[in-house]
Structure 1
Amino acid sequence: MTVSPELRTIGAPRQAPQAAPAPQASPDNSATATATAREASPDLLRSAFRRHAAGVAVITAHGERPVGFTATSLNSVSADPPLISFGVGTSSSSWPVLSEAEHIGVHVLGDHQRELAETFARSGADRFGAPTRWSVGPEGVPILDGVLAWLVCRVVARVPAGDHRIVIAEVVAADPTGVGRPLLYHQGRFNALRD
């Protein structure tokens, strides 16, 4: 899921839980455990995904100005050809540029980059101003300094998915030589791996 445009903490759904159906007897006549189900909603989806730990990336692109946002929806799609995907909200301030960009940058963040992740997730932040360090990379894409890995990708598809678009892009350049441990997003917070 996309973290941007702002970090938010999602509370418990406002609906009262529905009663669980009575356990059904299994073929061996033992009772089967059933979970309490709730009616699907955007809040329920967010609450469930708060329990899913995800890697943190920043997606960048350049139009009239550089844009970027923090994403936790980055996925490897295919090794041959090398394809990745991520989701972006169509209400994101980055979407107008991303909707037309031919190339995008993907940056895998380290656990030393919480502040950078928060900056790119915060609505209205000057994401490319100090203290963010970046340079112009291949295909004119903004490349962030100090990341664990970066990729420059050519956009091959933008697939409508509710209030988001799933962007599929082919890797054309990369540098996976950064040092450190990955930054994770879990329970509405940025976290480091624990030993």
Structure 2
Amino acid sequence: MTVTPGLASPGLATADLFRSAFRRHAAGVAVITARGDAGPVGFTATSLASVSAEPPLLSFGIGTGSSSWPAVSVAEYVGVHVLGEHQEGLAATFARSGADRFAAPTAWREGPGGVPVLDGVLAWLVCRVVGRVPAGDHRVVLAEVLSGDPAGEGRPLLYHQGRYHGLGD
């Protein structure tokens, strides 16, 4: 076993260390939506990941304390929306707690399976939830892509160092 100098003993990192390290990791920005008993719900996610092409599977994380978690915890279908750099305001709206995320100026419609589909995004997908894996104070949701539209134009919105950014050349 190799011991790294300055590392007295392996232990758990602090939440501050973890957050600080991941602030340096640029991530694409997506909005996840679902139909809830009291209406549509949604949240901004930077944890979207491709899992498999055959079958087409993706994953995202959601905190169990999130206002969207009660709906996502039982939803059969979710919407996944890849945001463009022109949609910083939309990302901020869906990241804000207590906001009516589906009020004007948010443009949306009901899509397949009753899933709220946002207008003007780079791509949207409707997915069937196939698993919810406990991961600390979050759940990793696994979902199979059923339909969608990748026809949006533009460049992706990124999240880095606690702020939204466009993709630089």
Interval containing the TM-score (normalised by the shorter chain): over 0.9
Count of residue correspondences: 163
The TM-score normalised by the length of structure 2 is 0.93
Q: Which of 111, 126, 137 does residue 137 from structure 1 map onto?
A: 111
Percent identical pairs in the alignment equals: 73
Amino acid at match of 1:96: P
Q: Does 1:49 align with 2:33?
A: no
2:136 matched to which residue of 1?
Answer: 162
**What letter corresponds to residue 114 of structure 1 in structure 2?**
E
**Structure 2 residue aligned with 1:149:** 123
What residue in structure 1 maps to residue 5 of structure 2? Answer: 21
Runs of 5+ unmatched residues, structure 1:
1-19, 23-33
Structure with greater proportional helix content: 2
Distance of 2:97 and 2:129 partners within structure 1: 25
| Secondary structure, counterpart of 2:159 in structure 1 | strand
Q: TM-score, normalised by structure 1?
A: 0.81
Equivalent residue for 2:45? 71
Which of 31, 36, 48 matches 1:58?
31
Which residue number in structure 1 is paired with residue 72 of structure 2? 98
| Structure showing greater Rg | 1
Give ranges in structure 2 of 5+ residues lacking alignment: none
Name whichever structure is richer in strand by fraction. 2
Q: Which residue of 2 aligns with 1:174?
A: 148
Find out whether 1:125 has 2:99 as its counterpart: yes
Report runs of 4+ in structure 1 exceeding 6 Å deviation: none
Q: CA deviation at 1:39?
A: 6.2
CA RMSD of aligned residues (A): 1.6
Residue identity opposite 1:161 in structure 2: A
Q: Which amino acid aligns with 2:80?
A: V
Question: Aligned letter for 2:90?
Answer: L
